Amino acid sequence: MSRLNAALRASRSQATAAEQKLRAALTRAGVVLPSLCVDVTGPVTGVTLVELGRASAETAEALADLILEGVNARHGRAC
């Protein structure tokens, strides 16, 4: 396997793991991003992105609330 193929495989593996972790966390919180998936690897950058997709306003608000709760908890603030 070439160095390029190894790097591309590693990038895809990292993106897949991140997508699965994010999906599991959101599922546990009761939030669903219907279009969440691993995107294609960029031909120029060689980086595989996680596509968050589109969400309803309600889902976006729920996600924002979760993020704010996490940030506040990390910094020891009340919600």
Tell me the per-residue pLDDT of 25-55, one tens digit each, with 9 for 90 and over: 999 999 999 999 999 888 788 899 999 999 9
Selection from 43, 47, 44, 35 nearest residue 9 by Cα: 47
39, 48 in Cβ contact below 8 A?
yes
Question: What band does 72 get if pLDDT is binned at 50, 70 and 90?
Answer: very high
pLDDT at 68 over 90: yes
Selection from 7, 56, 13, 60 nearest residue 38 by Cα: 13
pLDDT at 22 over 90: yes
Q: What is the mean pLDDT of residues 60-78?
A: 91
* Class of residue 63 by CB neighbours under 10 A (exposed 0-12, middle 13-18, buried 19+): middle
Q: What is the mean pLDDT of residues 49-78?
A: 92
Residue 21 to residue 6: CA distance in whole angstroms: 22
